[in-house]
Structures are given as C-alpha cells and as structure tokens.
Copies of this chain bind each other. A is one copy, B any other.
C-alpha cells in the first residue's frame, strides 16, 4: 500500500531524477498505488513518470488514473502509444474518459483505435448515464451449449483475459440470446466429456441495458452474484456487470445520495481534491433556494407579530418546535429514501408508509409532548395553558412531519425526480412553516392573544 513514507521516498527519486531506481521501485508496486502517486505529482512530472513505466504496467496504471490525468497523458504520447492505451482499456472506462475529453482529443483517440473498438465505443456512448449499460463490460466468456467441458476449459484458457470476467461463463444460442450461465467451478469439478448444457443454470437473473445501475447492483448484492448479464430489448447478451464495477457503483450511488440529501449537487471527486470554487458551486444553489423558502417561513412568523408581542414567552418555544419537527420529518424521509435506494420500498407501499409513520408519530410525539408540558409547568409556574399549547402543537407537528417525510420521497419518484432530494433540508423547511401555523393557530385558540 502507498503510505506517506513510501510516497516521500518516491518523490525524492523523482526530484533527484534518479529514473533507474524510480522505475525499479514502481515496478514492484500495485497499479492502483502507482496511479495514486502519479495523481499527487505536479502535472509535468506526472507525465514524465508515466512515460518511465514499462509498457504492460503503463497500460494497467492508465486505467486507474483520473480522467484529467488520462487526458494530459493522451495529449503527450504518440498516436501508436495512444492506440495501445485505448485498446487496453475496458470499453466502459474508455467511454467515461471520452465523455470528459475535448473534441479534438476524442477525434484523435477514435482515429487511432481499431474498427471494433470504435464501434463498441459508439454503442456504449448511447447508454444513458447511471444505466446498467453504462457500467457493463463487453469482455466476457461466451460458451455454446453443445461444447464439452474439455472444449470449454480450452476456450476459457484462451480468452480469459481479465480475472474478474472468467468465473461466470455465459451460454448463448445462434442468435446471441442468453440461454444459460455456468461457473468455472462447475466446469472444473465436472468430467471432461460432460456438455456445457448439462451443467448450466437456465434460471438466469439479468438486467436490460437501460435499467438503472442501482437495480443491477441491488440484484447482485441480493443474489450474491460475481457478475450479472446485461441484455438488449430482444434478450440478446451484450455485456456483463462485474462485481468490482458494481461495488464502485454502489459506493458512488451512496455518496450521491448523501450529497443530495444534504442539499448539494453530487460530485464524484474526493473532498480533499475538489477545489474551493467547484465546492461552493455545488452548494450555493440549494442554499439559496432553501433560504428563499425560509423567507416565506419568516413572513408567516411576521403575520403573528401581534400574538408574540402580546405574549413574548411564545417566541422562546419556536426553535424547539421547528427543530423537532424538522428532525422527525428527516428521520422518516431518510428511512424511506434509503429503502427505495435498496429496492425494498416501491411507490405502491405509500399507504403502508403513512400508516406506519402515523403510528410512530403517536408513540414518539406523546412523550415529547409530556416532557414539554412538564417543562413549562416547572419553568413558568401558572402558565399551564402555554404548556398545553406547546404540547399540542408538538404532537400535531410530529404527526405532520412524519407523514410528509414518509410520503414526499414517494411523490418525487412518481414524478420521476430523485427521492433523495426530499430529505432533511427541504423537509425541515416545509415543516418549519407548517409547525408555525399549527403553533399560532393552537395559541390563538387556547390563549388570550
């Protein structure tokens, strides 16, 4: 692993231009660590260092670099070298890179790549972002059902290029329809003269290219799959999602949800490597939208000016009431958003959610209301009516907050928006306004204001 001591040691060699020792040190390292070290170097030196790597390692390291660094290197190498690098990339990674590159460089990459790679790239460019198609790889082991185990092992030995793609083999018929799956283990444990057909599983779990990548990942997690076949609209096999890509997608999807749920535009770059400017850009839009919404809450509060001038004590309970409402609402919305992301909750569960949230709000709201009543009686003797007002407002607020928190993510889904937007910040803002209306309505009914 690349730790700080190792990184300093390497940097000293770079600084001293001791390229022979550097090359030796790098050749012992994992490609992921070499890539990480390259990312930490100044731009110019990163290209120098990359060009020091022996060809095989260079290709492995290239696949692990960020798109920015890939672009810098692509601009610096010859056409032949560029062609080698692109041919060696998995098609999905090549597409990710091309989508971010300037047009001139894209043209050069496509010009230097083989006809086959070019047409695969064009095909992949059409899959929607975040679809199963966009994270699949076109390299998989394909068997025919009439093959013997002996022939199958030969074919696996000949074609098994990437370690993650050989363990499940896919059986297709003449029109490329997916008809079975067989594991390398089953093949290894069988007799040489058995046929693939006799070993294969025909009850196949697969996804369509256009399906959400989250669906693909959830299926793989649920059924413990090492790879998942991806088929086109006619059921023809076009690629597979391997588990390492699924794991990366799972991590990215969760990160995106964390960011959306805290009112930020999602970004894949690690925090420490994101610039202050782009970080501010990701945050300011939602902050402004929510601030303007909170102005409406302020306006509502202004409408009750007479009430709180008549009884200023009322004001001191506002933060407690609005905060608790916001917290209760975001508890519900988080549970529902996460459940939807994991495929455990669908839109048809709305009635069950409302019932459950109302139940929870009663169980949670009553103790909170009691605590408040007791607190007012102790802190402000003789103000029992104020205590009753606060307690009642609390109970109603929690009920509303839980219901809204539970149902808004479902509504978002129905309107094809991301449920993760219906999280804490937005819910809290909505509940704020509502809890004030509830509070002052109850107050005008129960108190002389």
Given A298-B319, A319-B298, A324-B294, A363 contacting B223 (CB threshold 8 A): no
Q: Which of A146-183 contact B (CB under 8 A)?
A: 153, 156-157, 160, 163-164, 166-167, 183
The answer to whether the Cβ of A445 comes within 8 Å of any Cβ in the partner chain is: no
Asked if A221 and B251 make an inter-chain contact with CB atoms under 8 angstroms apart, the answer reads yes
Given the complex of chains A and B, what is the CA–CA distance between A244 and B226 in angstroms?
8
Asked if B302 and A316 make an inter-chain contact with CB atoms under 8 angstroms apart, the answer reads yes
Asked if B319 and A356 make an inter-chain contact with CB atoms under 8 angstroms apart, the answer reads no
The answer to whether the Cβ of A317 comes within 8 Å of any Cβ in the partner chain is: yes
Min distance, Cβ A149 to any Cβ of chain B, angstroms: 12
The answer to whether the Cβ of A234 comes within 8 Å of any Cβ in the partner chain is: no
Min distance, Cβ A8 to any Cβ of chain B, angstroms: 15
Q: How many residues of A contact B (CB 8 A)?
A: 112
Asked if A248 and B221 make an inter-chain contact with CB atoms under 8 angstroms apart, the answer reads yes
Given the complex of chains A and B, what is the CA–CA distance between A399 and B341 in angstroms?
33
The answer to whether the Cβ of A184 comes within 8 Å of any Cβ in the partner chain is: yes
28 inter-chain pairs at a CB distance below 8 angstroms, sorted by A residue, are A29-B203, A157-B188, A221-B247, A221-B248, A224-B244, A243-B247, A247-B250, A258-B258, A262-B327, A270-B339, A270-B344, A279-B335, A280-B359, A283-B328, A284-B364, A287-B368, A290-B327, A291-B320, A291-B324, A292-B371, A297-B319, A297-B320, A298-B318, A298-B320, A318-B318, A323-B432, A327-B425, A424-B425
Asked if B317 and A272 make an inter-chain contact with CB atoms under 8 angstroms apart, the answer reads no
**Most central of A160, A185, A251, A270 by chain B CB within 10 Å:** A185
Given A244-B224, A264-B331, A349 contacting B272 (CB threshold 8 A): yes
Asked if A319 and B305 make an inter-chain contact with CB atoms under 8 angstroms apart, the answer reads no
Given A271-B336, A276-B356, A359-B276, A324 contacting B424 (CB threshold 8 A): no
Asked if B432 and A335 make an inter-chain contact with CB atoms under 8 angstroms apart, the answer reads no
Min distance, Cβ A283 to any Cβ of chain B, angstroms: 5
Pick from B251, B345, B425: contact of A271, CB under 8 Å = B345
- Chain B residues positioned under 8 Å from A371 (CB to CB): 288, 291-292
Min distance, Cβ A102 to any Cβ of chain B, angstroms: 26
Min distance, Cβ A192 to any Cβ of chain B, angstroms: 12
